[in-house]
């Protein structure tokens, strides 16, 4: 019993090991929410933007905690809070989002090594161009695959020619700032390969169109089938027998689906830095940038501008003057008290 009591006393006297109050798994997950948001912003822009809010709230809580406490001891320190701000700002809000963005954009040029030979962004440009032509084509141009392919090729070549002319007549700064992703993709890839891909995409689109007309719904993606049947039902409700508007809507949905699939690839690419680089980046920023350079720099600034300069003398003079004024006021107060106690003549 004495041994147990002695052990209990030792446990009480033993200093408790520090546990970061923000180390809860849910809170730690919140600190990475902005990285998740950056990775999914291609497929869900609004959700990706909203996911920055928990990370910013965690940042504020973390900075305040590190300012207030030195591990398990209350010891406010502006320097510690500043170091935490720099660490979190560089690692979680600068380096990682930048690496995610670069990884997403690296997916596009890598697609040139596939059999199509053009980037993912160029494919997106073709899908968007085809969707635009679907909205405009009427009559035989919409009914006949060869006519439609002729329209696609002629308009796409004209667009590439216009974008190339615009690019060649734009200075380098405007080219970086204003030249859109679509324009850049169409002018930086081989034109013939772009046209070949557009023709192949048109063939697949008309194959899908024939499946819809013939009722071969098993060969149609579920989302497109659902959209088509809904559109046909609406047309029949108003006595319309021409199903071309429903077909047009379904084929445009098919182009949107292709664009979304490309965004999925970019999103997967964006998760690669989160999986493989989050820990190395955090360690580098903490051990090198903060501990080795920032901490030393702050100490030098403090030493140079407070301890070894006129600031120190100035603070000492101010402190001495305040002490003298306080002592003088105290003596005057004591003298006044003595005068009040003396009997009047």
Per-position pLDDT tens, the chain of length 345: 445 445 544 554 555 566 777 888 888 888 899 999 999 999 999 999 999 999 999 999 999 998 888 877 888 888 888 989 999 999 999 999 999 999 998 999 999 999 999 999 999 999 999 999 999 988 889 999 999 999 999 999 999 999 998 888 877 766 665 556 778 899 999 999 999 999 999 999 999 999 999 999 999 999 999 999 999 998 888 887 888 999 999 999 999 999 999 999 999 999 999 999 999 999 999 999 888 888 777 766 655 544 554 545 555 666 677 677 777 777 776 667 666 665 554
pLDDT, position 177? 57
Count of helices and strands (H, E) across the chain: 17, 2
C-alpha span between 38 and 47 (Å, rounded): 10
Output the pTM of the full model: 0.76
Tell me how crowded residue 168 is: count the other CB atoms within 10 A of its CB: 9
147-159 burial: b if 16+ Cβ within 10 Å, else e: ebbebbbebbeeb
Q: Are 118 and 112 in contact (CB under 8 A)?
A: yes
Q: Are 55 and 92 in contact (CB under 8 A)?
A: yes
Residue 285, judged by CB atoms within 10 A of its CB (0-12, 13-18, 19+), counts as buried
Inter-CA distances, 5 with 15, 16, 110, 302, Å? 18, 18, 68, 49
Considering only CA atoms, which of 191, 202, 196 is closest in space to residue 146?
202
pLDDT, position 19? 72
C-alpha span between 281 and 287 (Å, rounded): 10
Give ∠ CA 66-292-94 in degrees, rounded to 5: 65
| DSSP secondary structure letters along 223-244 | HHHHHHHHHHHHHHHTT----H
């Amino acid at each position: 019993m004495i041994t147990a009591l002695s052990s209990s006393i030792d446990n009480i006297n033993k200093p408790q090991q520090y546990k970061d109050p923000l180390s809860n798994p849910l809170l730690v997950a919140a600190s990475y929410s902005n990285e998740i948001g950056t990775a999914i912003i291609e497929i869900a822009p609004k959700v990706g933007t909203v996911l920055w809010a928990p990370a910013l709230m965690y940042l504020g809580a973390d900075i305040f905690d590190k300012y207030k406490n030195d591990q398990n001891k209350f010891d406010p320190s502006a320097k510690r809070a500043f170091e935490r701000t720099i660490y979190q700002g560089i690692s979680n809000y600068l380096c990682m989002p930048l690496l995610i963005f670069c990884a997403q954009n690296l997916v596009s040029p890598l697609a040139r090594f596939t059999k199509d030979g053009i980037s993912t962004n160029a494919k997106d440009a073709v899908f968007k161009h085809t969707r635009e032509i679907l909205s405009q084509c009427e009559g035989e141009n919409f009914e006949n695959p060869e006519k439609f392919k002729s329209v696609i090729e002629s308009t796409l070549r004209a667009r590439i020619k216009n974008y190339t002319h615009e690019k060649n007549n734009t200075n380098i700064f405007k080219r970086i700032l204003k030249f859109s992703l679509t324009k850049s993709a169409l002018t930086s890839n081989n034109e013939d390969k772009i046209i070949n891909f557009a023709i192949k995409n048109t063939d697949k689109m008309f194959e899908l169109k024939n499946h819809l007309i013939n009722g071969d719904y098993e060969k149609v993606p579920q989302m497109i089938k659902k959209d088509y049947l809904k559109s046909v039902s609406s047309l029949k409700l108003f006595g319309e027998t021409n199903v071309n508007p429903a077909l047009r809507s379904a084929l445009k949905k098919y182009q949107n689906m292709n664009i979304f699939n490309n965004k999925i690839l970019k999103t997967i690419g964006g998760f690669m830095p989160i999986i493989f680089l989050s820990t190395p980046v955090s360690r580098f920023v903490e051990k090198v940038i903060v501990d080795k350079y920032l901490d030393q720099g702050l100490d030098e600034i403090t030493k140079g501008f407070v301890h070894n300069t006129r600031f120190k003398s100035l603070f000492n003079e101010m402190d001495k003057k305040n002490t003298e004024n306080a002592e003088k006021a105290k003596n005057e107060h004591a003298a006044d008290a003595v005068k009040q106690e003396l009997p009047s003549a």
